[in-house]
Amino acid sequence: MNSVLLEKDKEAITKIIKEMAESMTGEQSTRHWTEDTIWFDIPAFASKGIKPATQFFDRAFDGLAVCKIDILEMETVINGNMAIVCMVQRISTASKDGTVNKPLLVRQTDCFEKRNGEWKVIHEHTSVPKGAEWNGEIVRE
């Protein structure tokens, strides 16, 4: 694959990831999803399609004054019209009643497909390690 094209694709995907991380509505969160995206989230929730995910996000964001997502690690692998983005994120939230919630370290994987020249999320999976005791470290060779 042409290295200039690969870099442009990585930039486009990174822009989408950052936009989703800054979202505070269901529509913003799912704007780059396909109609049949499959999503697995932190609470015991899974959905297929945009509508249930959008409603879930809207309910979650409705009670929040702040939702800040810091991307601590991100690796993007592109192969043709498919891409996988693996991240470690810190999610900090505060409720509208002023309660500041304990930050969560999460792992998130977004799978993209390039459709009609645009990168779209076809699958997203977010998880919190059991016990939430993980320090975010990635073991490397």
CATH number for position 99:
3.10.450.50
pTM passes above 0.85: yes
3-state secondary structure of 48: strand
Q: How far is 106 from 1, CA to CA, in rounded Å?
A: 31
Tell whether 140 is covered by a domain: no
| Model pLDDT for residues 10-51, shown as the tens digit of each residue | 999 999 999 999 999 999 999 999 999 999 988 778 899 999
Domain range for 113: 3-128
Q: Is 117 left (phi over 0), alpha (psi -120 to 50) or beta?
A: left
Tell whether 137 is covered by a domain: no
Tell whether 135 is covered by a domain: no
3-state secondary structure of 27: helix
| Model pLDDT for residues 121-130, shown as the tens digit of each residue | 999 999 887 7
Looking at the structure of the chain, the number of domains it has is 1
